[in-house]
Structure 1
Amino acid sequence: MLPKIELHLHLEGAAPPAFVRGLAKEKSIDISGIFDARGGYAYADFWHFLKVYEAATSVLQSPEDYARLTRAVLEECAASGVIYAETFVSPDFCGGRDLGAWREYLHAIHETARAVAAQGGPELRGIVTCIRHFGPEKARETAICAAETVGDFITGFGIAGDEKAAQPKDFRWSFDCAREAGLRLTAHAGEWGGPQSIRDALADLGVERIGHGVRAIEDLALVDELAERGVVLEVCPGSNIALGVFADWRKHPINELDRRGVKVTVSTDDPPFFHTTMEREFQMLNRAFDWDEGQFARINRTALDAAFCDADTRGRIAKKLEAV
C-alpha cells in the first residue's frame, strides 16, 4: 500500500463493469454482449477491445453520468493507494466535440474530482485526448475544446486509439494548437506501431511523454536516445501483457528500459479491462524483478517530476510521498 502516482489512465476505460451494467440497466441499453460469463469485459484482441470500449462508453450520456464515473474511478484509485492521477478525457465522448457541451461535462468531472480531493482522496488532472482512428479533422475540434478549457484541471493534450490509423504528422495542427494554449503534450506510441512510431511522435508532435513506448526495446539506439533526452514513458505492463504485446511479466521490457537509463513510470491504462490495479502492478513488478520500496519510490519521483501539474500541486504530492 505504498502511495502511488499514475500518469496513464483512461477515464472511461477505468469504469468498473458493474458501474457500466448499472447505467445500462437504468437507461434500458442492451450491451450484454461486451461482458464475459463472470461479468468482466470480453474482447478478442486490441481492435476488438476498442469496439468494446466504445460500446461501454455509450451508456455515459450526460454530465451527471461522468460525475458518477469520476467518483467511482477515484474510489478504485484510492483503494490501491494512488494519491495523484492524470486521466485521459475526450470531447468525442463528452458532448460530441461541441464546446458548450464539453464545458458542461468537464465541469461535472472537475467538480467531482475537487470534492473527492477535499475529502482526502486522490488529486486528479485531465489530459484532453483526441482519438486517432476518428481522424485528423475531428482531432482539430478536440484540440480547440482543449485550448478553450486549459486551466488548473485540464493541463495536458494527447492522442490515443489505433496506432495503425493515420500518421502522427496528420495531427500536427492539433498538437500545435494545444501547445500554443499552454498544454503539456503526450502521445500513445510504441505499443502496436513499433519503434518508428515513437520517433514519429517525438519528431512530428513534439511530445515530452510517450504513452506505452515499450517497443523501443527493439531498437537500442532509440533506447539510448530516449535516455539522453529524458523522455518519460508511461508504461502499463499489465495492459501490455493482457493484450499480448508481451507474453508475461518477466518478458516485459520495463526493467531493462529502466536499467538502460530510460525514465519509466507505472500505470494501469484501462484497469478493469486488463484485470489489474495499481496495487497489482506494484506487486507483480516486485515478483518479476525484485523491485523494492526504494525502486518504487524512485519510480514515483520520476512520475511526479513528469506530472502535468503546477508547482503547488507537485509540492503537496511530494510531501505525501516523503511522509511515508
Structure 2
Amino acid sequence: MERVRDVSELPKAHLHLHFTGSMRPTTLLELADKYGVRLPEALTEALVSGEPPRLRATDERGWFRFQRLYDAARSCLREPDDIRRLVREAAEEDVRDGSGWLEIQVDPTSYAPRLGGLIPALEIILDAVDSAARETGLGMRVVVAANRMKHPLDARTLARLAVRYADRGIVGFGLSNDERRGMARDFDRAFAIARDGGLLSAPHGGELTGPSSVRDCLDDLHAHRVGHGVRAAEDPRLLARLAERGVTCEVCPASNVALGVYEKPEDVPLRTLFDAGVPMALGADDPLLFGSRLAAQYAIARRHHGFGDEQLAELARQSIRASAAPEDMRVKLLSGVDDWLAAPVG
C-alpha cells in the first residue's frame, strides 16, 4: 500500500462551513433531548447510525426536504450556551482536521427570535467565536449570509449590520439558500454596502443551477469568492474568466454528491477546475447532514481525482490565499504547508 502524508495534518483554511450544519451529531441529539424536540425520523436515524440522510436537492421538493432537516436541527439552538458549545466544537473539529483558519457562515436572523433579537443574536455569535478562537488557537471569523428566499431589503439590513460589526470579527457577506429562487441582481445593493464596508463578497452560485449562476455572482455581486461554483466547469470561457480574475470557488465535494448535484465523488469536476487554473478552497458545507468534515474533502481529491501530495498542498495554499486571514497568519500557514510537504512520508 502506498504511503502518503496525513491530510489532517496539512495546514489549510476552511471557508465554507454553515453554522447549524457544523454541529456534531451527538450534540444535536443531546440538545433535542434537552428541549423535548422531536426530530424528523430520517434525521434521527442518520445521526444514530452515523450514515448521512438520503438527500437529493436537484428539485424543489428535494431542497424542501433538506431544508426541513436543517431547520429541525436549528430549532435545537435556543440559548447562548448552545451557541457557545456549537462554535467551540466546530473549532475543535477544524483543528483536528488541520485547519488553521475558519470562516463560519451564519444568517443571524435565523437565531434572533430565541436569542432576544437580531443584534443580541449576532453579538452572542461573535462572542462565541472570539472565545472559541482563544480556547483552541484556531483563527476564526464570521461571514454573515443573507437568505435568497427573503426580501432584498432584509439583505441590506444584514449588510449594514455586518459592516457595523466588522471590527468584531465579520470578514465577509454571503447569499445562501436555493439559488433557483431570488435573482443575484436583486441583492446587488446589499453586496455593494458590504463591499464598501470592506467585506469580502462570497455568494453561493453554480451548485443547483448552471454556469449562469456563477456569472451572475461575478457580474451582479462582484464576487471575490463563489460558494460552490462547481458548475462553472460546464463553460470553458467562464473557467478562464475565474482563473484570470483569481476568483476562488469554495468547492464542497461530499455535499455535491449528497445533494445529488453529482452522482459519485469522481464526478465532481475538481480536476477540471484545478487544471483550468481556477483557485479552490475545499469545504465541508454542512457536516451534520453530509457526514464528513474538512480533511475528508482532501481525501476525496486524493482518492477519487488522483491528487498527489504536491497538488493537495497547492489546494491548501489556495484556500489560505483566498481567506481573510491577516498577513502574519497567512505566512504561518503557508510555511506550514511547505513543512508538511517537505516532511518524510511515514
TM-score bucket of the superposed structures, by smaller chain: over 0.9
Tell me which residue corresponds to 1:297: 313
Corresponding position: 1:23 with 2:31: yes
How big is the shift at 1:292? Answer: 1.9
State the number of aligned residues: 323
Q: Which moved more, 1:135-144 or 1:261-270?
A: 135-144
1:63 and 1:140 map into 2 onto residues whose CA distance is 26
Q: Secondary structure at the match of 1:147?
A: helix
Structure 1 residue runs without a partner (length 5+): none
2:169 and 2:310 mapped to 1: Cα distance?
Answer: 30
Q: Indicate the larger mover: 30-39 or 76-85.
A: 30-39
Tell me the residue number matched to 1:13.
21
Cα distance in 2 for partners of 1:116, 1:61 equals 19
Note if 1:3 corresponds to 2:11: yes
CA–CA separation in structure 2 for the residues paired with 1:16 and 1:258: 31
Indicate the residue corresponding to 1:241 in structure 2: 257
CA distance in 2, matches of 1:272, 1:67: 17
Aligned to 2:261, the other structure's residue is in SS state coil
- For the aligned residue pairs, the C-alpha RMSD in angstroms reads 2.1
* Change in CA separation of 1:63 and 1:81 when aligned onto 2, cut-off 3 Å: same
State the 1:323 CA deviation: 4.2
TM superposition shift of 1:79: 2.1
Q: Distance in 1 between matches of 2:110 and 2:80?
A: 11
Q: CA deviation at 1:200?
A: 0.9
Report if aligned partners of 2:88, 2:132 keep a CA contact under 8 Å in 1: yes
SS of the residue corresponding to residue 264 of structure 1 reads coil
Q: CA–CA distance in 1 between the matches of 2:108 and 2:45?
A: 32
Residue 95 of structure 2 is matched in structure 1 by: 78
1:36 is displaced (CA, Å) by 4.4
Aligned equivalent of 1:142: 158
Task: State the Cα distance separating 1:43 from its structure 2 match.
Answer: 5.2
Amino acid at match of 2:71: E
Higher relative contact order (CA 8 A, sep 6+): 2
Candidates 151, 154, 160, aligned match of 2:176:
160
| Structure 1 letter corresponding to 2:197 | A
In the alignment, which residue of structure 2 is the partner of 1:260? 276
* Residue 52 of structure 1 pairs with residue 81 of structure 2: no
| DSSP-derived class of the 1:151 partner | helix
After superposition, the C-alpha distances for 1:62-119 in whole angstroms (9 at most, x for unaligned) are: 3322111101211221222222111101122231599x84443334333333333334
Q: How far is the alpha carbon of 1:318 from its aligned partner? A: 3.4
Query: What is the TM-score of this pair, normalised by structure 1?
Result: 0.92
| CA–CA separation in structure 2 for the residues paired with 1:31 and 1:142 | 29
CA distance, structure 2, for counterparts of residue 110 and residue 165 of structure 1: 29
Q: CA deviation at 1:138?
A: 2.2
State the Cα distance separating 1:3 from its structure 2 match: 2.3
**Structure 2 spans left out of the alignment, 5+ residues:** 1-7, 58-62, 341-346
Report what 1:63 is aligned to: 80
Whether the aligned pair in 2 keeps the contact of 1:97 and 1:142 (CA below 8 Å) is no
> AA paired with 1:29?
V
Pairing 1:42–2:53 present: yes
